[in-house]
Structure 1
Amino acid sequence: MDTANHITKKQLPASQDFSFLKGEAIAYVQKHIGSEWTNFNPSDPGMTILDQFCYALTELGYCTDFSIADILTDAEGKMEMENQFYQPSEILTTAPYTIDDYKKYLIDGIENVDNVTLLCYNDNAFPFNKVYQVYLYINPAITDPIEISGLCKSAFYLLNKSRNLGEIFNTPMALLPVACWIDTKIILEKNADPYTVLLELQNNIRSYIFSKITQADYDTLKQNGYTAEAIFDGPKLANGWILTESLTDKKDSIKGIDLAPIIASTPGIASASGVQLYQNQASVTVLQAEISEILAIDVLASFQNQKLIVNANGKDLPPDSFGPLQIRMDNFNETTAFINNKTNSKAPKSSFRDINTYYSIQNTFPQQYGIGDDTLENASLPVQVAQSRQLKGYLTLFDQILANQFSQLANISKLFSFKNALCGAPSDEDNFYAVKDPYDQKHLEYPVPYKTFAPSYFYQSLYSIPHIKPLLKDNTAFNYSSGTESRAELLEKSWFEYQQDPYNPYIFGLMKIMEEEKTNLDRRNNLLDHLLARHGESPKVIDAIIQDTVYTGDKRKDQIILKSLYLQNLGLLSYNRQKGYNYLGAKKIAPHVDGNPDINLPKISDKEFGSINEHTTDFIFKSEQINTKEKLHQQDFNNFSGLELKLNLLFGLKNIYKNFISARLDSQKINIENLYNTTIYKTIQKASWFTTNRHGSLLLETVLLLNPLKFNLEVLKPNSVNEAYYTIDNISFETLTNLNYVLNASSEATLDSELQNGYLLFSGTKYPFTASSIATVNEEDYVKTADSNYSFRITVSSGNAKIALDAKVFKKSFLLLFPDFIPSLQTPEFKKRLKQFLKLNVPFNVSYECLFLSIQELETFIPDYMYWYESLRYKDELLPLPTEQEGSSTPNNDQPVSIDSVSSALNLISSLTTILEAKNGTN
């Protein structure tokens, strides 16, 4: 039987219910009009007007019921997402911050790294925050030392691209395999392939010890029930997503009983006898590995060495059943399936809705009203024409209100955009450019009368209303002719020119009455506060931080500008909020001449600097210009820490410096060349350097000052026989941190054994120590180890041992420096806001100090800083430089430069020490 289709009566929403709207209107009229209006029948013209208006309101109600996806879709069918929403992969991810984050980052970023172990050195006895030692579990099939070294170097460059503030990475090391075997007998199931079973057993044991981390695509994880928060937790990954719960720790202690269930659960094995273990060819009860080692239980080698007995079909297989071991090992490599790494959830389907185009209610009136396309224009009927125009003028007020409501809805994307709108009548702007030639469309700036600062009300002209021209003020302004046009052509041209004129009294007056500036600024500020709160940012906190940041001098406008800029850059700022700069790949701040940095500050010209009001034209703030100028890119976070970039953005530091320079130049009223070598010139020159090479401030991580230096390590065992005393001299910072770990992590028996044999062992390398008779020492200068009676002391051997590790310069994780000659930076309000900003944005485990340097102090400091900064990248050992591709160790096009990194660090430390002593410990 065919289905019977029929129409069901469904209650419409109130905004779309004509009867409801009309009933409400009549009730309102009856309540307030008194006895002035008594005829509510269809014959009354007032009821006709009410009918048309209510019908128009149902259309508006219909449009407001569209999905937000449809409202945001433009005429080309593209949804306006940019500066509207952040995708989950943009706002839920973060640059590596935790140990698990770094594991995911390395596994995804370096091919053939199956898993990672990270060791964090965080010893309060050291003047630095954190040092990480990374161990890579490299695919066991890779045995070439050169290839392994290349993978470690690639990992080192990759890690430094996402290094956190105040932290540093030692060169990663490959986990050293510890040869192990198993002694057991396994009985295979009938028809099981012995070699396949052994390979599967090998794989299961390796996964048990330290599993190879696999990656999955977004769709698969969603289908398995994981939320976007779980999937995107951590850094952005290029080759598939890694769940935090899938990360496993390396097992460094294994008993035979631990392997029994692994063996029994392997497909193809029917049963197995007790398991005995061998490590380094010796029988052991427990397999043991250090932090730098990986237990490598070789199943196939165990079989060939006749320790693993395989019984298939009632017979023990001979050890040469599978041929040469080295050929068979290649079969263990797994082929990685292609992963469709979608980083964004699918956008909802949407359709373009032409909301803005308005159809006048005057088109729907009965003919006898004479106000539609058949409007009376007959000169012989002046009374009727006047009546028609009078009614049109009355109805046009309703039309304008309705048209503006449609325009407001159509411009929701601009209303809730991170960027501030530039025009309150976007459709009129489009019409203005639509009739221009391609050159004018590209170069002709939109006329000033249409411009406004961050409008929150949108409107549109009503030139489409039939015969509206006579009602508009100065509609005959373009009724002039060269004498060649007919009257009809002249009227048509005049009407067209009037519509195109942004200064005509109608559109210009409409703009002026739409909203008062105070109301507009308050509304826009509230909208931006809503957007900030939606992204987890406190508007009140932001208001407090940007309290005195100046762009226009109007506090409300400055709030709107800064909040808009912050929202536009929030994705990158949020992702990189804890990140330090990449000292191996950051841009140069000094040109290189003959293999050395040119540390002379460049000469400046007054032509390089604009006026203080460069961001405004005709008193309208140029939002697009400042948006482009302050837009952050990923490369910026390679050159600067996230803290510096956020500080500059919210405090408008570059703008402060720009205004300072312009004010100094204007005050001299002469060419800058005449000021050369004067104090004013040097002041301007250094202010220019802070804006050109930095972002208005200079953040210096003290751990990077220690990194190039050499150290002496003394180890003492008080109250022992002859008071054992051992030393190792001129070791690198990396070696020092590793040996510090050994001293604190090793037992006293281990230290006794190794030191008496003249070394300390770390990651398979023996570091030689020299035993000597002890001199008179102050034991208070030594630090006791964690698990033994040994104590040790570290001194700097570079620079004739003039530098002490307890010096004030190393007390903080980083120093934040400003010049003290910028008046805006010396106010109590600025320092209060700066203190609040740092308290909110610096991790609790990172200490800092703010310094304001004089022009004399900067004379020495800036050259020393430039030379040291360049030495971090262009080291004296001429390390290969990383390319732009993540993880690559191939040299780029920059020519390596030999710089004495030790002397440059010593000079900068000396300069900072002098500055800190002059400050007498005050901020």
Structure 2
Amino acid sequence: MQTTTTIAKQIHTGDDLDFEFLKKTGIEYIEKLGSDLWTDYNAHDPGVTILEMLAYAITDLSQRINMPIQDLVATEENNLKNMHEQFLSAIHILPSKPITALDYRKLFLYIPGVKNAWIAARETQVFVNCDEHPASLSYTPFEETEITHDPFILKGLNTILLDLEDEVEEPDQVINTVKKIYHQNRNLCEDLVEVSVIETHPIAICAYIDLHPTADEEYVLALIYQAIDAYFSPTVDFYSLKQMLDKGYTTDQIFEGPTPLPEKENTPVKGGFIDSKELAAADLRREVRLSDIVQLIMKIEGVHIIKDISISNCDGSTGENQWNICITPWHKPIRCDKSTFNFTKGILPIGVNEEKVAHYQEQLQEEERAKKQEHSIEDIPFPKGTYSAPDSYTTFQNDFPDTYGISTIGLPGKATVTREAKANQLKAYLLFFDQVLANYFKHLSKAKALLSIDDTLKAMYLDAAIFSEEEKVAAKQMYFSQPVTDLADRDSILQTPATYEQELIAIMGDVKGVGTGEEVFYKKRNELLDHLLSRFAERFSEYTFLMKMLYGDNTVSNDEILSAKLHFLQDYEVLSRERGVGSNYCCPEVSTTDTGIWDTVNVSGVQKRIARLLGIKDYSRRDLTTAFLEVYEEKDTDDLKEYRWRIKNDTGVLLSSSKHYHHLNQAYEELFLAYYLAQQQENFEFKKTAGGDKTYFNLINPEVTDSTDEDRIVARRIAFTETKEASIEARDALIELIKEISVDEGMYMIEHILLRPDRYHLDQFETEESLAPDAPATLFMPVCIDADCTACSPIDPYSYRVTILFPGWTRRFRNKDFRQFAEQLIREELPAHVMAKICWIGQPAKLVADEANDMLNIQERYKAFLEAISCTNTITAKKDIENYRSTLNDLITQINTVHTIYQSGRLHDCDNEETETKGNKIVLGRTNIGNL
């Protein structure tokens, strides 16, 4: 029998709350340590009394640890607001963007005016001609004489069909809203072709019905109309949160799928929640059964018997049989004006007043509207917790028997000096235990800070050596202490009472036997962040290992690791909800300052998630080849090619290399090292000029301690000042400028389905005839197929494919191990049906000619393409079609010509040990040239 390993939910033994267990364990420990000197463990022994007091204090601490988490993290003021800032409530973490067709239907039903909605695949054929090389594609069939491959159908194209409410007066306005909502929630590698009001399939119903003598025939007919209409086109109700809970749904089931956040929606939405089972049942009918209609009519009060009934299409046909009618696909059945209902009461025929029937119908509709109460989209009530001041601590010395003379009562007035000295010695000895307990209580009260994703939590203590005075003001610590305040005559046993608190910080700021305060901070902070990540089933273990392998276990790599985890958790609401969503290319306005085309965070959800998992700080779509970081060539007197670098902004050069480099790799490494070092004050060294009348500073590498080593000075800036204070100001200003410069790490994710050619004809605006698409073969992406129509699989270059482009020259992206990790992560994070082509391309600005810089050319053409496909650009003339095709062709051509760049390396010479550690070592069989 196979056994499985599980983690028990309840692992707390409760021993820390058991006074007798703590006392017994303490005595057992004392026996092991001092049984040769101490053999009396009875209650009268002072040592046992001390042990009992400590055990009692520990049970108090344990009781507070076991308080409900909402009580531990509660605050004295603005408790509910602070709780929502620290934790994600149900409506913010459980819903997701739509994935399935049912999800999209639910999303559209929240739009006012939409009664029901469906989303269907739009089949678009693409024909393949192998008679040419490379093979050509077309929307229209090729000649029979040409060698052709079976056509393929583009996948991921959708059509939305709407059933609108009766009171909708402007269908186009609702349709435009649906388009907007779709593009805000568009799945990756999918696109919308059309939104339309659903077409109808008229059905004629003829019936002879006998009524009870007391029945109101007009009211009965109105009820029949209502029942049949609901059968043909069922409505979907909205429910309150309580109603959904009463139905037996759990919280995760209620918030499954898309649930609009009213405060974040730019358009009005209906309130309440949708029952997914009812929505699935409210699908389009594929057939109308006569037996169903009979049952509906017979359930109506007043109907005695149906004498005769039949159904047919309004054109008179009944289909294959008279018992059911098949409905045209993606059509909604309706009653047509040929339907007739005749009534009798016994043997007497009964006439019907149509005006009275219409009056009853309006009355029934009003009753239906009244039943549909306007609900709000509610959140699960947040547990506010009760603030209980868990850090309050009173010394356990006051609980000792009075005979010890250490409580607030003190010693008798006749006590000798020797007796007072012994009492003070005991108080000083017990203060050690007091202090440890007081610190634990204080630490417990800071659970809300330790379990937060506050990136200002930066030190074990605020006086850690890694922080300047200015940074201490904004920084927060992650280990806490508090003085013991209620100890009688405390100052008499302290050597320096005035520096009591500072000495506590000094002791804990450098934890002996564990490491420096900085090391303990990184260890503890990472453990807490890993705990928060694990609650979402996320991990950064591989990323952490890789960063330490690449850059060592130092401050730079540790800061990068913490930053990656913090940014991921801070964005988790979006990263979780939008992990399968594509960018909104159609209605892209993110804000008044963000157009959604370029310099925008309007990118796909999976791109945001991949960027955060890779530690990319800026995932926005922007220029990745900038003029801020430059590597350039120059020739020395020996006519040898050398490289230098500089960091610039709009005002000029901020930092430049202190030496020249013979290898491009060395220049790259030093450039990005300088970029990171220049953001920390301690990496600048102040110097005096030879004459001693001026001050300047250099950027140094703190890892190089030898002041004579040329590698110690990384960069220079010629900025002489009269005083050191002025140089400090210049340094701080430089740091702020460097931080404003966006490093070139980023990515472009281009969805191939958006690159499909248009379906226009160049002459379609000059004739009223319907013309077939005439997109030329050069506008299609190339296919993997040979002249004999032998194809690589899959042949379709558009469906569920993306091209992901990274700048291949940056500090991390040049490393082959990081690339391998990134490519594996991308394939794990992309939806399983999406295939990615990954390239590491380009060069920094000015290193190569602009026309040879792949990244520079891609970003120019990609930006132009996004502007061209924006829904604000409408095609109304032949010139518009030509301009769009030119833009698309430029981008496709550039995508097909990019190539991955690699840093130069050397093969290891087995006879030369130096090549084992020098340069970028290449291992045969481990270096991939290109990757799909």
Identify the TM-score tier after normalising by the shorter chain: 0.5 to 0.7
1:457-480: CA deviation from partner (whole Å, max 9, x where unpaired): 5443334433333544544xxxxx
Structure 2 counterpart of 1:60? 61
TM-score of the pair, normalised by structure 2: 0.67
8 Å CA contact retained: 1:875, 1:901:
no
8 Å CA contact retained: 1:697, 1:817:
yes
8 Å CA contact retained: 1:115, 1:138:
yes
Structure 1 counterpart of 2:801? 813
Structure 1 counterpart of 2:746? 696
CA separation of 1:243 and 1:326: change in aligned 2, threshold 3 A: same
Of 637, 642, 648, which aligns to 2:611? 648
CA separation of 1:451 and 1:104: change in aligned 2, threshold 3 A: closer
Ranges in structure 2 where 5+ consecutive residues have no aligned partner: 1-12, 127-151, 263-270, 464-468, 633-643, 657-663, 673-737, 785-796, 844-852, 901-928
**Per-residue deviation, 1:89:** 2.8
**Per-residue deviation, 1:586:** 1.9
- The AA in structure 2 aligned to 1:104 is K
Of 830, 837, 840, which aligns to 2:828? 840
Of 322, 328, 342, which aligns to 1:290? 328
**Per-residue deviation, 1:148:** 1.4
1:883-909: CA deviation from partner (whole Å, max 9, x where unpaired): xxxxxxxxxxxxxxx994751452243
- The AA in structure 1 aligned to 2:295 is P
Which stretch of the first structure deviates more once superposed, 544-553 or 22-31? 544-553
Where does 1:132-211 land on structure 2 (aligned, <5 Å)? 132-142=158-168, 144=169, 147-189=170-212, 191-211=214-234
Where does 1:414-425 land on structure 2 (aligned, <5 Å)? 414-419=449-454, 422=457
SS of 1:838 mapped into structure 2: helix
Which stretch of the first structure deviates more once superposed, 848-857 or 123-132? 123-132
Where does 1:119-518 land on structure 2 (aligned, <5 Å)? 119-121=120-122, 125=126, 128-142=154-168, 144=169, 147-189=170-212, 191-237=214-260, 239-247=271-279, 248-284=282-318, 285=322, 286-297=324-335, 301=337, 307-311=340-344, 315-323=348-356, 325=358, 328=361, 332=365, 334-335=368-369, 337-348=372-383, 350-373=385-408, 383-384=418-419, 386-419=421-454, 422=457, 446=472, 452=477, 455=478, 458-472=480-494, 474-475=496-497, 495=498, 498=499, 504-513=502-511, 516=515, 517-518=518-519
Where does 1:100-111 land on structure 2 (aligned, <5 Å)? 100-108=102-110, 110-111=111-112
Structure 2 counterpart of 1:440? none
8 Å CA contact retained: 1:549, 1:558:
no
**Per-residue deviation, 1:231:** 1.5
SS of 1:272 mapped into structure 2: strand
8 Å CA contact retained: 1:89, 1:232:
yes
- The AA in structure 1 aligned to 2:451 is F
1:810-850: CA deviation from partner (whole Å, max 9, x where unpaired): 57732222333334323212321221122111112222322
Structure 2 counterpart of 1:570? 572
SS of 1:169 mapped into structure 2: strand
- The AA in structure 2 aligned to 1:184 is A
**Per-residue deviation, 1:225:** 1.1
- The AA in structure 2 aligned to 1:322 is E
TM-score of the pair, normalised by structure 1: 0.68
CA distance, structure 2, for counterparts of residue 15 and residue 917 of structure 1: 67
CA separation of 1:802 and 1:847: change in aligned 2, threshold 3 A: same
SS of 2:343 mapped into structure 1: strand
CA separation of 1:150 and 1:588: change in aligned 2, threshold 3 A: closer
8 Å CA contact retained: 1:288, 1:295:
no
Structure 2 counterpart of 1:736? none
SS of 2:285 mapped into structure 1: coil
CA distance, structure 2, for counterparts of residue 841 and residue 817 of structure 1: 16
Say whether 1:87 aligns with 2:89.
yes
Where does 1:709-748 land on structure 2 (aligned, <5 Å)? 709-711=758-760
8 Å CA contact retained: 1:814, 1:849:
yes
**Per-residue deviation, 1:184:** 0.6
Structure 2 counterpart of 1:779? none
CA separation of 1:17 and 1:857: change in aligned 2, threshold 3 A: closer
CA distance, structure 1, for counterparts of residue 332 and residue 195 of structure 2: 15
Ranges in structure 1 where 5+ consecutive residues have no aligned partner: 1-11, 430-442, 476-494, 603-634, 713-727, 733-766, 771-793, 880-897
- The AA in structure 1 aligned to 2:506 is F
**Per-residue deviation, 1:141:** 4.8
CA separation of 1:294 and 1:526: change in aligned 2, threshold 3 A: same
Where does 1:553-568 land on structure 2 (aligned, <5 Å)? 553-568=555-570
8 Å CA contact retained: 1:133, 1:171:
yes
- The AA in structure 2 aligned to 1:183 is C
1:321-367: CA deviation from partner (whole Å, max 9, x where unpaired): 43585995585363163344454323346322221111011222344
CA distance, structure 2, for counterparts of residue 510 and residue 85 of structure 1: 30
**Per-residue deviation, 1:224:** 1.8
CA distance, structure 2, for counterparts of residue 287 and residue 244 of structure 1: 28
SS of 1:29 mapped into structure 2: helix
- The AA in structure 1 aligned to 2:26 is A
Which stretch of the first structure deviates more once superposed, 800-809 or 132-141? 800-809
CA distance, structure 1, for counterparts of residue 899 and residue 53 of structure 2: 78
**Per-residue deviation, 1:376:** 7.8
Structure 2 counterpart of 1:746? none
Q: Which has the higher helix share?
A: 1
- The AA in structure 2 aligned to 1:181 is A
Say whether 1:668 aligns with 2:646.
yes
SS of 1:910 mapped into structure 2: helix
1:159-211: CA deviation from partner (whole Å, max 9, x where unpaired): 11100111111231111233332101223345444344333322322332331
Say whether 1:906 aligns with 2:886.
yes
8 Å CA contact retained: 2:587, 2:871:
no
8 Å CA contact retained: 1:166, 1:703:
yes
CA distance, structure 1, for counterparts of residue 930 and residue 153 of structure 2: 20
Of 858, 863, 878, which aligns to 1:861? 858
CA distance, structure 1, for counterparts of residue 574 and residue 871 of structure 2: 28
CA distance, structure 1, for counterparts of residue 541 and residue 307 of structure 2: 69
- The AA in structure 1 aligned to 2:867 is E
SS of 1:832 mapped into structure 2: helix
**Per-residue deviation, 1:649:** 1.9
SS of 2:457 mapped into structure 1: coil
Q: How many residues align?
A: 725
CA separation of 1:268 and 1:845: change in aligned 2, threshold 3 A: farther
1:580-627: CA deviation from partner (whole Å, max 9, x where unpaired): 1111222499999xxxx999x99xxxxxxxxxxxxxxxxxxxxxxxxx
- The AA in structure 1 aligned to 2:608 is L
- The AA in structure 1 aligned to 2:235 is K
1:620-652: CA deviation from partner (whole Å, max 9, x where unpaired): xxxxxxxxxxxxxxx94xx11112212322223
Where does 1:743-762 land on structure 2 (aligned, <5 Å)? none
Structure 2 counterpart of 1:784? none
SS of 1:400 mapped into structure 2: helix
CA distance, structure 2, for counterparts of residue 275 and residue 899 of structure 1: 60
CA separation of 1:812 and 1:331: change in aligned 2, threshold 3 A: closer
Where does 1:520-539 land on structure 2 (aligned, <5 Å)? 520-539=521-540
